[in-house]
Chains A and B, each alone.
Chain A
Amino acid sequence: MPDKNIFDVSDEDLIWVEQQVEKHGKKKGELIQILRDVQEHFGFIPRKVQVRLSELLNVTLSEIYSIVTFYAFFSLKPKGKYQISCCKGTACYVRGAEKIIEKLSQYLKIQPGDTTDDGLFSLDVIRCLGACGLGPVMMINDDVYARLKPEDITEIISRYEPPFRDYSEVMRQQREEARTKEKFAAEPSRRLAPI
């Protein structure tokens, strides 16, 4: 991975996790509920959070990872800055959506459901955007692209890929905003017990 840091979290984030654990109670049975909060807060379940939860709740890390990988609701990587949703509903399918997805996969070097290592693009396959007449259809964030051909993909993607963009900075800002919203910034910061 070129830059592991984009999936990383800070000590403050871990304090937030500790607060969640305290809120729900230090019980094994609360694990899924806590993971749900973590998923909503970070947009994914960071590795360090899993390790911390394992220590706090006395649940084996393997079991936590098992739960995170079992439920489709949880993801191990954040969604990309540009979320690509490619339709594979019946109409798009017969008009060659398969080839579009294949091309996207190949070009971005990720499988559907995954995020590129630089955190820029994530690829999801969805069912019907309600534009069957225009199939195959895909959306990148709010932009809709219709009547796609595999050879269009490279050019479309290049419209989004901004040069020299430090994605970890973007992530940090997004999380900062989220924190301010949730008024956690007011909480006095606490020293973390060493892992």
Chain B
Amino acid sequence: MLNLKINGVDVQVEEGSTILDAAKKAGVYIPTLCHREDLKAMGVCRLCVVEVKGAKTLQASCVTPAAEGMEVRTNTPFIRKARKTILELILSNHPMECPTCLRNGNCELQKLSSQLNITEMPFEGERSRYEKDETTPAIVRDPNKCILCRRCVNVCNDIQGIGILEPHHRGFKTSIDPSFCEGLYRMPCSQCGQCVMACPTGALTERDDTEKVFEALADPNKFVVVQTAPAVRVALGEAFGLEPGSIVTGQMVAALRRLGFDRVFDTDFTADLTIMEEGSELIERLETGGKLPLITSCSPGWIKFCEHFYPEFLDNLSTCKSPQQMMGALIKTYYAAKARLNPENIVVVSVMPCTAKKFEAQRGEMVSSGYIDVDIAITTRELSRMIKEMGIDISKLKPEEYDLPLGISTGAGVIFGATGGVMEAAIRTVYELVNGKELEDINFTPVRGLDGIKEAEVSVNGTILKAAVAHSLANARKLLEAVKAGQKTYHFIEVMACPGGCLGGGGQIIPTDNDVRQKRMQAIYEADKSMRLRKSHENPAVQQLYKDFLIKPLSHRAHELLHTDYTPRPRVLAR
């Protein structure tokens, strides 16, 4: 243990701690910008500078190790002035477009400027000018707004293990870009949007598709159907000042009706359907000696990553489309027939915690019904902006129910939103279908929680089924490398591209950190617990769907509408 003084207060910290850690422990606030708990400290923004007795210059507290007997001051007039100057210098090369920025009101730079009382711009000089990169369907980069904090660089490198973004050139000309400073569309980018989650400003954002949705809603000839993903209900409330982990399912449905959607369906329904299809696929592969391990295919970021970096595993991927795409395909076939609608006039909007879903929705193969499965995919953030724009106060709405029949779901569908959820839901169903009896404890806890890679075993018909769960792409890489090297063998693997699963997805409400992820996860499992039905195969609407339309899992029609295939993509650079 180390003893040091911060602003005259004694504090004890473990060896290896930084001054910033010590200050936190002492209850002293130090402003930070480039620092994020789950990323490696860079010390590039210099906003967290402090005075250390005996040191010649101010020290960046996020990277300076605490030492025995250190005396630290965090709020002297000199530091105050230095911090202000640092922030003013950052702002001097930042476009002052705050009122028209997507991050207006939710920007860390804005917040810090207000907190440090920046009231004028003393420095005027050259400004960097870059072109906006709008080449991908999911992510928009505006390097003009970039403050070079490198948080996106670290997320992309360390958490996702891809490394698309790096600082290029140097000095004033430094910019954070993909290689050759080219458009993102040419890069092996998974479109997961974790860089967007990490960006303190509006330099990285989702592509805003709200206008398209408003247009469809205003068109009297269009029948606009919306579906909401499992993880949206536990995060949307945060945009309206509710505590992280507040469950706002009913209010969200009510708000969607107020916005003018003709039908509000639940992606949880197709999550249940996914379990029926994917579970059957697993049983089939186990029985017929098919390609194992079977790997889940719900996460479009993971799918794109796999196509770029692990084409040798493409045959292992479940052929199931993701729940979003299944729902789209069903709305334009099954539901259209049932409700006597012309699928041509139906617009399917999906609300997803995900930016990669935007990419998935426009994939060429997602048109098996003759119509595009999902017309517009928007993120949780975009929905929150739409609700705000229409002046709806979500906390004052009375909860409403989803529409029938595609709004009926079970607890197994809800937990898709958390890492390990698909695995747990699948095990609940596969175990019962094969063994003919229920799991002893329906809460299959070994696959829950925020550990990077989780393993579990369950006995299915006498054989031990080995399962593994990975979330974040760096963990997926680790797991696949182990499988490739033959160190590990599994029957079933779940991969989610984002840390924590969809609840920490790239389209969720900002800020999202481990604390928030934990709370959203708790909410997901609470929502699961509160459901009457908790196993996918017990979903009456799914049973009805099979009876009326699909006949049985993996039937010809199911294959046609609900399954897909994958394309290998280049590992380094698209031509």
- Which of A19-27, A30-38, A65-73 binds B? A65-73
**Alpha-carbon distance between A54 and B166 when the two chains are bound, in angstroms:** 14
User: Do A70 and B169 form a contact, CB below 8 Å, given A47-B180, A60-B163?
Assistant: yes
Please tell me if the beta carbons of A51 and B163 are within 8 angstroms of each other in the complex: no
Residues of A within 8 A of B573 (CB): 51, 61
* Complex partner residue of A69 from B164, B170, B178, CB under 8 angstroms: B170
Please tell me if the beta carbons of A65 and B572 are within 8 angstroms of each other in the complex: no
* Complex partner residue of A66 from B162, B168, B571, B572, CB under 8 angstroms: B168
Residues of A within 8 A of B31 (CB): none
**Alpha-carbon distance between A66 and B166 when the two chains are bound, in angstroms:** 6
Q: Main secondary structure on chain A at its contact with chain B?
A: helix
**Alpha-carbon distance between A146 and B165 when the two chains are bound, in angstroms:** 46
Please tell me if the beta carbons of B164 and A66 are within 8 angstroms of each other in the complex: no
Cβ-based interface call for B179 (8 A): yes
Q: Which residue of B lies closest to A50 (CB)?
A: B179
* Complex partner residue of B169 from A47, A51, A61, A69, CB under 8 angstroms: A69
Within 8 A of A (CB), among B551-575: 570-573
**Alpha-carbon distance between A60 and B572 when the two chains are bound, in angstroms:** 8
Cβ-based interface call for B167 (8 A): yes
Contact with B along A7-49 (1 / 0, CB 8 A): 0000000000000000000000000000000000000000100
Q: How far is the CB of B357 from chain A (nearest CB, A)?
A: 25
Please tell me if the beta carbons of A60 and B164 are within 8 angstroms of each other in the complex: yes
**Alpha-carbon distance between A138 and B163 when the two chains are bound, in angstroms:** 43
* Complex partner residue of B166 from A50, A65, A195, CB under 8 angstroms: A65
**Alpha-carbon distance between A63 and B158 when the two chains are bound, in angstroms:** 13
Please tell me if the beta carbons of B180 and A60 are within 8 angstroms of each other in the complex: no
Q: Main secondary structure on chain B at its contact with chain A?
A: loop
Residues of A within 8 A of B166 (CB): 60, 62-63, 65-66
Q: How far is the CB of B553 from chain A (nearest CB, A)?
A: 39
Please tell me if the beta carbons of A195 and B572 are within 8 angstroms of each other in the complex: yes
Q: Which residue of A lies closest to B171 (CB)?
A: A70
Residues of A within 8 A of B157 (CB): 60
**Alpha-carbon distance between A37 and B178 when the two chains are bound, in angstroms:** 25
User: Do A62 and B169 form a contact, CB below 8 Å, given A47-B180, A51-B572, A55-B572?
Assistant: no
Q: How many residues of B contact A (CB 8 A)?
A: 20
Contact with A along B134-166 (1 / 0, CB 8 A): 000000000000000000000001000011111
Q: Which residue of A lies closest to B178 (CB)?
A: A62
Please tell me if the beta carbons of B180 and A70 are within 8 angstroms of each other in the complex: no
Q: Which residue of A lies closest to B161 (CB)?
A: A60
Residues of B within 8 A of A195 (CB): 570, 572
Please tell me if the beta carbons of A70 and B170 are within 8 angstroms of each other in the complex: yes
Residues of B within 8 A of A139 (CB): none
Cβ-based interface call for A64 (8 A): yes
**Alpha-carbon distance between A83 and B572 when the two chains are bound, in angstroms:** 34
* Complex partner residue of B164 from A55, A62, A70, CB under 8 angstroms: A62
Please tell me if the beta carbons of A62 and B571 are within 8 angstroms of each other in the complex: no
* Complex partner residue of A61 from B167, B170, B179, CB under 8 angstroms: B179
Please tell me if the beta carbons of A66 and B180 are within 8 angstroms of each other in the complex: no
**Alpha-carbon distance between A50 and B573 when the two chains are bound, in angstroms:** 11
Known: A60-B157, A60-B163, A61-B572. 18 other contacts (CB 8 A): A50-B179, A55-B571, A55-B572, A60-B166, A61-B180, A61-B573, A62-B164, A62-B178, A62-B179, A62-B187, A63-B163, A65-B166, A65-B168, A65-B179, A65-B180, A66-B167, A69-B169, A70-B168
Task: Return 22 A-B CB contacts under 8 Å, by A number.
Answer: A47-B180, A50-B179, A54-B572, A60-B163, A60-B164, A60-B166, A61-B180, A61-B573, A62-B168, A62-B178, A62-B187, A63-B163, A64-B179, A65-B168, A65-B180, A66-B166, A66-B167, A69-B168, A69-B169, A70-B168, A70-B170, A195-B570
Q: Which 10 A-B pairs have the closest CB atoms?
A: A60-B163, A62-B166, A66-B166, A61-B179, A65-B179, A62-B179, A69-B169, A69-B168, A70-B170, A54-B572
Residues of A with Cβ closer than 8 Å to B?
47, 50-51, 54-55, 60-66, 69-70, 195
